[in-house]
Amino acid sequence: MARCYTPPMITRDRYAPSPTGLQHIGGVRTALFNYLFAKASGGAFILRLEDTDRSRFDPAYVKNLYDTFAWLGLYWDEGPDIGGPYAPYIQSERFALYRQYALELIDKDKAYYCFCSPERLETVRSKREAARSSETGYDRYCRAIKRDHAAKRAADGEPCVIRLKIPLDNTTRFHDQLLGDIEWQNNDINPDPVLLKSDGFPTYHLANVVDDHLMGITHVLRAQEWLPSTPLHVILYQSFGWNPPAFCHLPMVMGQDGKKLSKRHGATSVDEFRHQGYLPEALINYVALLGASYIEGKDLYTLEELEVCFSLEKLNKAPAIFDYKKLEWYNGQYIRMKSDKDLAALALPHAVDAGLFGQNNAAPDETQGRAFIEAIPLIKERVSFLHEIPEKLRYLFAEPPLPETSEFLPKAMDIAKTIELLELGRELLEPLASRNDADAEAFIKAYAESHSVKLGNLMMPLRVALTGARVSPPLFGTVRILGAHVSRARVERALAALRKVNGQIT
């Protein structure tokens, strides 16, 4: 029977998801820590698809996995899509191996055939429940059947499963790289769990252990929710006569309420974060800090820096708290690091989806595309998510509705005085459109002083006329992008509306 060979001192770890749902933030954290550990130790990072749960399997989830990690920029050294020396890396393509190894355990008297029907198992369960018994799991009814007799019944085609013989006494001990030495009472382990089902499908435990051994996995980094399965896996390794890998059970990721992170706390699938306008760099940086610490006083890390900094010694035992506001801060930081052109390209799909350039999700024409890039500096410091950008710039691509008259009025000013201010502002448009921010600011300050008006009072009605709101992106950049002609037309529209209201009042 083939055995794997792993060169000494080469670390090999893996991410082994079950493609039964979208990739969520907890799975990505597990994958990221495995990826970083492999890179930091000069080892190999492997992807394996554990697709034995065919009732919930969907090819769309496999595609989501590939799309998610391509977006994050995380790549494996071996996997289903690129192959490797231990292929295939999809469990449904390895069924013959699992049967072979299950039969080996029977030969070693470490496993046995079980012929109990589902009806018998249900009867046992019901009787225990009625008797309020503390016993759980299988009652080991078939464990006493002589091996030869059981083998003949199986060969004759009698439906059966293969169960592992859990030792009836003593304890199982193993060392966890984060949690230290752990001891588990064998009578607390699920009694004689199924390894191979009657349809030939392996259970998670058998496939996981066989694959980790044959693929030369040296380190298993996984969530702490898998800790109760580890004694069973250690017993499996011992039953085969194999050395188990080093285990490291990662700290849980919790919500602010101290409960395991779930949809009730907000977005959990990476698709949700992606659609909300998060950047992959921000997500990786923040997730890498969930349960780990690196350089004191440093918050922002590139993926390359994390590949150097990561080590198991920097993991924390305590659960990590997922803070959406902190992730938002990270996202804002990475948005501001982008060049205007790169940020425009990232925000463009959101702008198209929002109909910024026309109906039916129209793509921008050349003029609109250029204006979109030019407008990015106006809002870069004001956004935390990509999806916010289209709404903040919508006034540049479509004339905004006129707001209520009161929005135009500076404090303690009436409509008549506001009309005068807006008429003064109208004369500023052409010179402002051709000046940079510094020159424009000097020019408008001098203009306000020469006309004995407060600068704020002069700018506010002008801002509202151009953007439709009192709070908006910077005025000077707005005038430059709209141009003097469009800007003047919007001011004239506002003046006409204010004069109409003023005439009705008087």
Question: What is the pLDDT confidence band of residue 6, given thresholds at 50, 70 and 90?
Answer: very low
Six-digit token string for 360: 């039916």
Question: What is the pLDDT confidence band of residue 361, given thresholds at 50, 70 and 90?
Answer: confident
| CATH code (residue 342) | 1.10.8
Three-state DSSP state, 47: strand
Do residues 257 and 321 touch, judged by C-beta distance below 8 A?
no
Flag whether 484 is in a domain: yes
Tell me: do 385 and 471 sit in the same domain.
no
Tell me: do 449 and 436 sit in the same domain.
yes
Three-state DSSP state, 406: helix
Flag whether 398 is in a domain: no
Flag whether 497 is in a domain: yes
Residue 29 has pLDDT above 60, yes or no: yes
Do residues 115 and 153 touch, judged by C-beta distance below 8 A?
yes
- Quote the CA–CA distance of 259 and 398 in Å, as a whole number: 46
Three-state DSSP state, 176: strand
Q: Which residue has the higher pLDDT, 282 or 502?
A: 282
Question: What is the pLDDT confidence band of residue 53, given thresholds at 50, 70 and 90?
Answer: confident
Tell me: do 415 and 481 sit in the same domain.
yes
* Global pTM value: 0.90
Asked which of 333, 353, 371 is the last residue of a domain, the reply is 333
Question: What is the pLDDT confidence band of residue 482, given thresholds at 50, 70 and 90?
Answer: very high
Do residues 202 and 95 touch, judged by C-beta distance below 8 A?
yes
Range of the domain at 456: 405-505
How confident is the model at residue 52, as a pLDDT? 86
Asked which of 286, 306, 333 is the last residue of a domain, the reply is 333
b/e code 385-399 from CB counts within 10 Å (16+ = b): bbbbbbebbbbbbee
Rg (CA), the chain: 33
Per-residue pLDDT tens for 174-194? 999 999 999 999 999 999 999
| CATH code (residue 285) | 1.10.1160.10
Tell me: do 356 and 306 sit in the same domain.
no
Tell me: do 305 and 389 sit in the same domain.
no
Tell me: do 445 and 479 sit in the same domain.
yes
Task: Give the mean model confidence (pLDDT) for residues 46-53.
Answer: 93
- Quote the CA–CA distance of 283 and 99 in Å, as a whole number: 41
Active site residue 110: no
Tell me: do 297 and 373 sit in the same domain.
no
| Number of structural domains in the chain | 3
Flag whether 320 is in a domain: yes
Per-residue pLDDT tens for 300-345? 999 999 999 999 999 999 999 999 999 999 999 999 999 999 999 9
Cβ neighbours of 169 (radius 10 Å)? 7
Flag whether 307 is in a domain: yes
Catalytic position from the list 127, 259, 263, 314? 263
Tell me: do 320 and 347 sit in the same domain.
no
Distance separating the N- and C-terminal Cα atoms of the chain? 100
Flag whether 103 is in a domain: no
- Quote the CA–CA distance of 322 and 306 in Å, as a whole number: 19
How confident is the model at residue 142, as a pLDDT? 98
How confident is the model at residue 256, as a pLDDT? 83
Question: What is the pLDDT confidence band of residue 157, given thresholds at 50, 70 and 90?
Answer: very high
Flag whether 463 is in a domain: yes
Q: What is the mean pLDDT of the chain?
A: 94
Task: Give the mean model confidence (pLDDT) for residues 28-36.
Answer: 97
Flag whether 296 is in a domain: yes
Tell me: do 388 and 437 sit in the same domain.
no
| CATH code (residue 470) | 1.10.10.350
Six-digit token string for 376: 């990015």
Which residues are 269's β-sheet partners? 24
Tell me: do 293 and 347 sit in the same domain.
no
Q: Which of 286, 291, 219, 294 is nearest to 252 (CA)?
A: 291
Segment among 42-51, 83-92, 255-264, 338-347 with least mean pLDDT: 255-264
Six-digit token string for 444: 């408008």
Asked which of 333, 366, 382 is the last residue of a domain, the reply is 333
Per-residue pLDDT tens for 419-451? 999 999 999 999 999 999 999 999 999 999 999
Tell me: do 414 and 385 sit in the same domain.
no
Tell me: do 412 and 386 sit in the same domain.
no
How confident is the model at residue 359, as a pLDDT? 83
Q: Which of 459, 458, 470, 462 is nearest to 494 (CA)?
A: 462
Residues whose CB is less than 8 angstroms from the CB of residue 259 and which lie 6 or more positions away in sequence, other chains included: none
